[in-house]
Amino acid sequence: MRVNTRFAAAAAGAAVLALGLTACGGDDSSDTSSGDGGSSGDSAGEVEVFTWWAAGSEKAGLDALVGVFNEQHPDTEFINGAVAGGAGSAAKDLLQSRLQTNDPPDTFQAHAGAELQDYISAGQIEDVSDLYDEFGLTEAFPADLVDRLTVDGKIYSIPSNIHRANVVWANPTVLEDAGLDPAATYDSMDDWFTALDAVEESGVTALSVATTWTQVNLLETVLLADLGAEGYNGLWDGSTDWEGAEVTGALEDFEKLMGYTNTDRDGLDWPDATQQVIDGQAGFNVMGDWAEAAFAEAGKSSPADYTYFPVPGTDGVFDFLADSFTLPVGAPHPDGAKNWLETVGSAEGQAAFNKAKGSIPANTDADTSDFSEYQKTAIESFGQDTIVSSLAHGAAVPVATLNDISDATSKFTTGASDLAGYQSELAAAVNG
Amino acid sequence: MNHRFRRYGPPILLLAPSLILMAVFVYGLIGANFSTSITDNHSAATATGVEPTSTVWFENYTRLLGSEDFQHSLINLFLYTVVFLLGTLAIGFVWAWLLDKPIKGEGFFRSIYLFPMAVSFIASGVVWRWLLNSNQGENASGLNRLFQMIGLDFLQNNWWNNVTFGILAITIPAIWQLSGYVMALFLAGFRGIPDELREAGRMDGASEWQVYRHVLFPQLTPIMLSALIIIGHMSLKSFDLIMSISKPANYQTKVPAVDMYLAKASFDYADAAAIGTILLVLVAIVVVPYLIKTNRQEK
């Protein structure tokens, strides 16, 4: 007993000593960093970059971008403010409260397009048009893209990468088993339905889909296929009638497509749906081109293990979404943020970032010679296709509208509303 | 004066910090929440004060309560609460009753029944999402696969993906987690009844059933009420279990707490606050009568 007490006392003493030492260590390091940098008061001394790129290919991309940043701006310390979870929803929640309490990060990631609208109307982000001139980006970015980022003549963010949302991924083995030619592409929804019927008859899921947002992703590609690029754009500027017969036709196609899908969809997220194609449990899957990374991770190669083509009826249209970086009003280190934005927009930064992330650079000067096969085809399409804004990824409509559309879609696909009810709810969601 | 201060001063000073904290962080925030809920603060711009807000009084409430979608959430919440309450009370009571009899390994069973409560709703939700997979037939997994393996194919169903009763599938893990807790409450109740009462009953010639029916059960009423309140208010606030089994956008499993989360995420602070107030009122309807009752009993 006595020994025990003594031992405990010794252990406690050792613990205190250890704590003291670490405390000293902490002091030392902070002393030196503020000492030699001498820049903690300087607004270019550091930059806190707020993203939801915390895992997988997204993290790999961010790491590559930081590598370029450290070369270009060795005096600005990069502070990673990445928040994991919920495909960005956890990060957006936190960002919302930070902006609300006037504690913004130095720069944050946001989907380019209408999703920025809330921040703009709340006066939370700065106009960065000047930086486009300063960094010489106006020429380097395609005009189509810059138009979509411009609100009332002002540009509020610098895009880092571009993804395409209207891509079908298919498993050639499954298609062959169903008696289809795996190299075939389909001109219209009707052609595709024939193929989907064949796959369904062969006993596997014809089209895999996951939870609500992936269903909205599918919906937007069907709208795009049936209304065409112009009609689709009209949905967002009011020139296409949501209550019209054309939209009804598209929704009928959407309903039909949902009939080919897996019944456990609402419990899954996109990787699960893509995995079904990888594993041969499903024939087709419609997903943005970040799915490419999932195929690559599974060690698959195209065209032997998987094929991809634009959603039938949308050939020649690039359904775009982009991540971008902003300059929040009241950022503690605006010069650090400008340094970061310069790297994000630069050809070197975009090449390094997008190669790792699997997306394509917005900056056309970026060197893409060593990009993957898919990325090269996407870059080619982006150069020549008509560009439209994605609905499911915040490019076409603000968050509140998207939430209403998601609610209506979930209600419809679970069978709680009929097609007419769905159509009028969609119209109400967009027209307010 | 001095005398009075000596008598009341120290207790008041001691209580003051917690009273002030309560006033600010509980009642103050309830007030702030309510005052947000009667404005038209529906966007990021109005929230930061770039655009003005005005008081619209109960317009948000009437719009919410009148909307079919919010009614669906309320009905879901009602179904969920009723089944969750009945399930935990019934199972918890039966377990307590069984363990009340002197049986071997009582401590063992008590722990087994109580363990699920130690798991967080989020963690158990992830597992139950796999168990409650809605695929049937060849692609079935989880419980549906189990039904196939033991030849009860007809029991296969789409669980929480049913539009009307899907929410009831989520009560299965909820009941599984909380029944042990209700059992512990009832068991404490059983143990609190002195043996003399049972013996007296038996002396008077009561059968085993009659002893329970007329001697023991009536004394468990207060326990029953506590269990009802605790499970009831947990049920009204339920959010995490639903979020981890289903997803916020899924219509079939919407409850007001999920709506509140979604409203907040789309910068609709007024609606979020209004839903919060509605939930508070619902919880108050359950809890306040209980508080009044216990207060009376203590007097």
The full set of domain ranges for chain A reads 46-162+322-375, 167-320+390-431
Nearest CA of chain A to the CA of B249: how many Å?
A: 6
CA–CA separation, A327 and A336 (whole Å): 10
- Sole residue written with tokens 């979604």: B262
Record: contact B250-A403, CB cut-off 8 A = no
Using the Cβ of A399 and the Cβ atoms of chain B, whether some distance falls under 8 Å is answered with yes
Using the Cβ of A432 and the Cβ atoms of chain B, whether some distance falls under 8 Å is answered with no
10 Å CB burial of residue A337 (0-12, 13-18, 19+) is buried
Signed CA dihedral, A267, A269, A270, A276: sign only: negative
Signed CA dihedral, B214, B215, B220, B222: sign only: positive
Low-confidence ranges of chain B (pLDDT < 50): none
φ/ψ of residue A109, rounded to 5? -80, 140
Dmax (CA) for chain B in angstroms is: 83
> Which of 3.40.190.10, 2.60.120.1270, 3.90.1200.10, 1.10.287.310 would CATH assign to domain A46-162+322-375?
3.40.190.10
CA–CA separation, A169 and A184 (whole Å): 13
Nearest CA of chain B to the CA of A124: how many Å?
A: 9
Query: What are the chain A neighbours of B247 within 8 Å (beta carbons)?
Result: 211-212, 266-267
Q: What pLDDT, on a 0 to 100 scale, did the predictor assign at position B154? A: 85
Q: Which residue is closest to A269 within chain B, CA to CA? A: B247
| DSSP codes joined into one string, A292-311 | HHHHHHTT--TTTT-EEEEP
Nearest CA of chain A to the CA of B105: how many Å?
A: 34
CA–CA separation, B273 and B268 (whole Å): 9
The interface residues of chain A toward chain B in range 203-222, judged by CB-CB distance below 8 A, are: 203, 205, 211-213
Using the Cβ of B68 and the Cβ atoms of chain A, whether some distance falls under 8 Å is answered with no
3-state secondary structure of A69: helix
Residue A285's DSSP bridge partners are: A169, A208
Question: Contact at 8 Å (CB) between A229 and A388?
Answer: yes
Q: What pLDDT, on a 0 to 100 scale, did the predictor assign at position A28? A: 37
Record: contact A211-B247, CB cut-off 8 A = yes
Question: Contact at 8 Å (CB) between B275 and B189?
Answer: no
Fold match between A46-162+322-375 and A167-320+390-431?
yes
Record: contact B161-A416, CB cut-off 8 A = no
As a whole number of Å, the CA-based R_g of chain B is: 24
pLDDT tens for each residue of B80-137: 999 999 999 999 999 998 888 877 888 888 888 989 988 999 999 999 999 998 888 8
ipTM over 0.90: no
CA–CA separation, B137 and A422 (whole Å): 30
Which of B36, B71, B251, B260 is most worth mutating to test chain A (most A CB atoms within 10 A of its CB)? B251
Residue A323's DSSP bridge partners are: A111, A161
DSSP A266: G
Distance between start and end Cα atoms, chain B = 30
10 Å CB burial of residue A263 (0-12, 13-18, 19+) is middle
Q: What pLDDT, on a 0 to 100 scale, did the predictor assign at position A3? A: 46
Question: Contact at 8 Å (CB) between A149 and A111?
Answer: no
Using the Cβ of A123 and the Cβ atoms of chain B, whether some distance falls under 8 Å is answered with yes
Question: Contact at 8 Å (CB) between B191 and B106?
Answer: no
The interface residues of chain B toward chain A in range 142-171, judged by CB-CB distance below 8 A, are: 158, 161, 163, 166
Query: What are the chain B neighbours of A200 within 8 Å (beta carbons)?
Result: none
The interface residues of chain A toward chain B in range 235-294, judged by CB-CB distance below 8 A, are: 262-264, 266-267, 281
**CATH second-level architecture of B61-298?**
Orthogonal Bundle (1.10)
Between the CA of residue B229 and those of B81, B85, B91, B185, what are the distances in Å?
11, 9, 17, 12
CA–CA separation, B181 and B175 (whole Å): 10
Of A124, A203, A402, the CB nearest to B48: A124
* Average pLDDT along chain A, 432 residues, taken 10 residues at a time: 50 48 39 37 85 88 94 93 81 90 93 89 92 89 82 90 94 94 90 95 94 95 95 93 95 96 91 93 94 89 91 94 93 93 94 92 90 92 90 91 94 94 95 79
Q: Could you tell me how many residues make up chain A? A: 432
> Which of 3.10.450.750, 3.40.50.970, 3.20.20.150, 3.40.190.10 would CATH assign to domain A167-320+390-431?
3.40.190.10
CA angle B147, B247, B278 (to 5 degrees): 115
| Dihedral, CA of residue B225, residue B228, residue B229 and residue B231, to nearest 10 | 150
CA–CA separation, A194 and A186 (whole Å): 10
The angle, 0 to 180 degrees and rounded to 10, between the axes of the packed helices B221-236 and B68-100 is: 140
Q: What pLDDT, on a 0 to 100 scale, did the predictor assign at position A41? A: 52
Record: contact A122-B268, CB cut-off 8 A = no
Question: Contact at 8 Å (CB) between A185 and B119?
Answer: no
Q: What pLDDT, on a 0 to 100 scale, did the predictor assign at position A85? A: 73
A284: left (phi over 0), alpha (psi -120 to 50) or beta: beta
